Structures are given as C-alpha cells and as structure tokens.
Structure 1
C-alpha cells in the first residue's frame, strides 16, 4: 500500500501510521475539478490510481497544464503554508482514487509531533521544488521564441 508513495516511504513507520490514520478514501470521476487556483487549500491527497493535471489560470483561454501527476504522488502542498490558498488548479484526467487528508488535522499532528512535522515539511518542499521546475519548463515550452505563442 505505501510502496507506491515516495512521501509515505520516506516516513518512519510510526509517522506513516499516524498520518494514514487521518486519510479518507476518495474517488473522482474524469474531468472533475479538485480545486482552483486561489481557492482554500484545506486538504491534500496522495494519488493511488489515475492522473491529475495541474494547471494555471490564464485569462481568456483554457488553463495550460504545467504538470501531470499520477499514482504515489502528492497532490497539494498549499495547505501547509498560510494563507492556505491553492497556487495551481487541478483536474482529474480520468478516474482517480486517492487518500484525502484534512489539512487542519495534519497541521495539528505536525505541531504535536515536531519530528513528523519536520519530515513532512521536507517531503513537501521536495514536491514544491519539482513543481516549480516543471512549471518553468512548461512555460518555456509555451512562450519560448519561435513557438508562435503571443
């Protein structure tokens, strides 16, 4: 069960068990919006199956997809940092099964167990760095000279 998630594999078993005790199993149909950029970041997910497209708001046009995430990956990190607002949007590409975690309960768990909080924050920071790099590459693809982009 945890073998597919780098975030869960990185946590000691006791921390992993405490975190998973808060998880709810969720399923999303194809094309379902999970959240929109700027909305309240009050939960996050670990994807168990399926894929989710991360996108940016672009006035007057469909949101460009900056990254696609799949099984084992963390969906959402904005819940960890005030003001707890999503920095991207997310939409299920096909059917998606995930563990959903309530942000307020996970933050309380991190406060009560600083070692767990530190480990989880480090794992989220790795995801943030990966997402920023993916966004940078995607934007270069979209707007580089010679691409025909405005």
Structure 2
C-alpha cells in the first residue's frame, strides 16, 4: 500500500481505453466501474461491472502492456491507484511477493475471460448459449 495513491473518478469518466498503454491499475474502494469491449458497428458491450475491493486492470503486468478492454466509472469512484512499473519492480525484488501478485492477477484474468465469454454468448450466440441465470 506504500505505492498507492487515492484517486477519484466521476460517473462517466473513462479510466482507460482498449489498446492504449497500461501503466497503472486500481483497487476500487467505493463506487462501480464497467469493463467494456469494443464491438465494431455497435455500442461497446459491458462485460462486467466491478465494485469495492475489485482489481481494475491487469494488462499492466504482461507484455505488450496494453489494455484488452475499456473501463468507465458508472458512479462516483474512490480507488487506490498503483504505478505499474513500481509494482513490477517490487515483484522482481521480492520473488515471494511477485508470486503472490501473479497468482492474484491470474485469478482475476480467468474470471474476466469467463465473464467476457458468457456476456458475448448472451449478446451474440443462439438462445441459451451462456451460463444459466
């Protein structure tokens, strides 16, 4: 937490856009953030909505360090913001910490991929393709 700084976003503020440089990440304290995916010819598809204690952003950890989705505050948000380079450096200096961070981020990635798959099947697949509700 020594690397964190408190930030605020208003509803409608974009935290990041797909394919842009991923140089930071956040842990939500209050409010909600929608993760969205660009769909050509349509509005962005909201894949998941994140809230308190959720990690916003994992693309900072792995090359090419570019966002895979976009993110927008859907309500006023207070969050802890972390500089990705500083966290990666700390992970290299302390392998046990780095391993713990990698496992935590990998869990988030797996969950986000499943959410994206389910949401896209709900939007574009034949009826009943997504997970049961």
Output the TM-score relative to the length of structure 1.
0.83
2:133 is equivalent to residue 140 of structure 1? no
Corresponding pairs, count: 128
Q: Which portions of structure 1, spanning 4 or more consecutive aligned residues, are displaced by more than 4 angstroms?
A: none
Distance in 2 of aligned mates of 1:29 and 1:123: 27
Higher strand residue share: 2
Q: Deviations over 1:22-53 (max 9, x none)?
A: 00100000000000010100000000000000
RMSD over aligned Cα, in angstroms? 1.0
Deviation, 1:145, is: 1.7
Instruction: Give the Cα–Cα distance (whole angstroms) in 1 for the partners of residues 52 and 127 of structure 2.
Output: 35
CA distance in 2, matches of 1:23, 1:82: 22
Find the counterpart in structure 2 of residue 26 from structure 1: 7
Determine the structure 2 residue equivalent to 1:127.
108
2:96 is the alignment partner of 1:103? no
**1:60 CA displacement:** 2.2
2:57 equivalent in structure 1: 76
Q: TM-score, normalised by structure 2?
A: 0.94
Tell me how far apart the structure 1 counterparts of residues 26 and 96 of structure 2 sit (CA, whole Å): 21
Deviations 1:72-106 (A, max 9, x none): 00000000001100001000001000000000000
CA distance in 2 between counterparts of 1:101 and 1:145 reads 40
Matches within 5 A, 1:34-73: 34-73=15-54
Offset, 1:59:
1.9
Q: Return the offset for 1:146.
A: 4.5
Cα distance between partner residues in 1 of 2:125 and 2:65: 32
Stretches of structure 1 lacking an aligned partner (at least 5 in a row): 1-19
